[in-house]
Amino acid sequence: MDIKESLEEFRIIFSIPLPGGLSISINETILISWIVMAILIIATFILTRNLKEIPRGAQVFLEAAVEFLNNFSREHFGHRARIYGPYIGTVFLFLLVANIIPVLSPMSLPVFGIEPPFTIKPPTRDINLTAALAIVSILLVFFGGLRARGIGGWCRNLFKPVPMMLPFNLLEYIIRPVSLCLRLFGNILGGFIIMLLIEQALPIPAVLPVLASLYFDLFDGLIQAVVFTFLTTLFVAEAVEV
């Protein structure tokens, strides 16, 4: 796989024709995002069927994860945990799978002239996806604040702690999504580029790329999912706190 080709504009996989000569283009990011959502839906169906009163096997892990999410949500959102907890858990799972999905790709072995039959690229290396997630998160902050405080309370909160903070408090609704978007996008894209360089530049690519993948695809992917989710949690909790 050529590095230049991997970093060029995202390829259109297919288009869905619409009346009037219009069409909806499906690119790599959308297709892999659908695959990630399919993985989560199938995993949810498998893990939640045949639940028993006394948990065993995977059900033990599942209940522990749900209990951790519930406690985490109650700690930050209080009695509003049922409202915002599901979104926090869903966005974390989506980002986790989306960030680490490149581990399913076979590695190239240029020394032996072996090219991988396919390559799965992380959809979060596309700034359009990270921007969409950041916008959804900041909309949750905005409408959550309105719901918790009311219009009057939300407007008064913009003048805290002192009235001169009004422009800075308004700017947060622009700065925060930009920060969420660029942090996730930059880290995932950087790790993706480094993995491409390692796979194609090393004389013995069968060992070190595997170790590098453990960090850039797994560990770094987990860290970025945690950071995005945790910052979103803090922003929402701050907005709904009365």
pLDDT tens-digit map of 168-197: 888 988 999 999 999 999 999 888 888 777
pLDDT reading at 74 higher than 70 = yes
Cα(225)–Cα(191) distance, rounded to whole angstroms? 14
CA atoms within 13 A on the CB side of 202: 18
- pLDDT score for 138: 93
What's CA 92's distance to the chain center, in Å?
Answer: 6
Cα(127)–Cα(112) distance, rounded to whole angstroms? 34
pTM for the complete prediction? 0.84
- pLDDT score for 137: 94
Question: Does the N-terminal peptide bond of residue 161 adopt cis geometry, omega within 30 degrees of 0?
Answer: yes
- Tens of pLDDT, residues 76-135: 998 898 999 999 999 999 999 999 888 877 655 544 555 655 677 889 988 999 999 999
Q: Are strands 23-27 and 12-17 parallel, antiparallel or unpaired?
A: antiparallel
pLDDT reading at 19 higher than 90 = no
- Please check whether residue 188 is in contact with residue 194, taking contact to mean a CB–CB distance below 8 angstroms: no
Per the structure block, which two tokens stand in for 9?
A: 């504009």
Question: Among 45-54, 103-112, 126-135, 227-236, whose mean pLDDT is lowest?
Answer: 103-112
